Structure 1
Amino acid sequence: MAGPTRWSRVILAGAITGAIMVAFGTRGGGGEESPPARASVVPKRLDIPSLGIKAPLMKLGVTDGRVDLPPYEKPDTAGWVKDSVVPGDEGPAVILGHVDTKTAPAVFYKLKDIREGQAIKVVRSDGKVAQYRVDSVEQISKSRFPADKVYLEDGLRLITCGGEFDRDDREYRDNFIVYATLVKG
């Protein structure tokens, strides 16, 4: 019976993500494409000094209504959801990373230790460094993922898995989400 529950969560998450991606496409422009200048700027590296994290960033897209994940073969790489804003710009910027792999800790393994007020920096391809301050952290069941809060509200969101590991479904039951506010673009 665990199988249908898992797939129900995946389908629900996919439907929510698809709706949010539509919102990204229509945000501020009625579905118009982004200006060419914005398209050329991408986030290159995520730095969280308090945790000793310096991670390269890759672009993540959406496939079949679901946000892609960084490959497990690159455990030290985090991924920027390219349909979210470039960190440092106004709007929601979303970065995902794995907490671990089958054999070792991954890029967001220490993320559970982050605290309110700590700094997060994102180095961009245009040479700017977007600086954020952690407002709050949340561990929440994947079945209650706060899509509107993550994908529509301004600020940086760092997302990984957390909580109890379900050995039958081979996945964590929760998401761990960091919410941060831009303090210097």
Structure 2
Amino acid sequence: MPAKIAVIYYSMYGHIKTLATKAAEAAKATGAEVDLLQFPETLSDDILAKMHSPPKDAAVPFVTPTDLPKYDGIIFAFPTRYGRAVAQVSAFFDATGSLWATGALTGKFASTITSSASQNGGQETTHLTTIPYFTHQGMIYVPIGYGDQALLGLGEIHGGSPWGASTLAAGDGSRQPSELETGVAAYQGKYFAGIVNTFVAGKAAQ
């Protein structure tokens, strides 16, 4: 039985969607069943228009809290705001109290992808400040370490760390994810899926 994995993203201008899509494609290539989902929007259409936010991709379903328990592993992808998850993701996490109360996510695997406007925009702290949510839900956090040697390169400015893939969007959102950054996202998807696949196979063999 293949592992069931969700890659759930929030992306206002497309940077995170690009990384999430790469991670999902790489995870699927391992043989896992992979769903690409997006967090619900909390801002009004009027505010989004003033922010010049493009429409959400109608082909990607919005996730609900009741969707989460059916997955063996979940990659959460979202931008950083002041070193933590954006409000849309925090609101979603706050809506999963019933899952915590029933232990529905205990033993599930989790990993994170993020972005920031600048090099020192809080990417690593966003990974770090999301771990308490996983801890309270009993989820198993999976960082990527330095398995992708591209993370060690100093030849170009890039996002990404041993915590997970990330990108630098620039203050005006003009910078798109680089080939190196999308490569790290693909590595993360493959690595994460490999771990979840191994766990699911081992559990089935018991």
Note whether the superposition's TM-score is higher than 0.5. no
TM-score, normalization by structure 2: 0.27
Higher RCO (CA 8 Å, separation ≥ 6 residues):
2
Larger relative helix fraction: 2
Larger relative strand fraction: 1
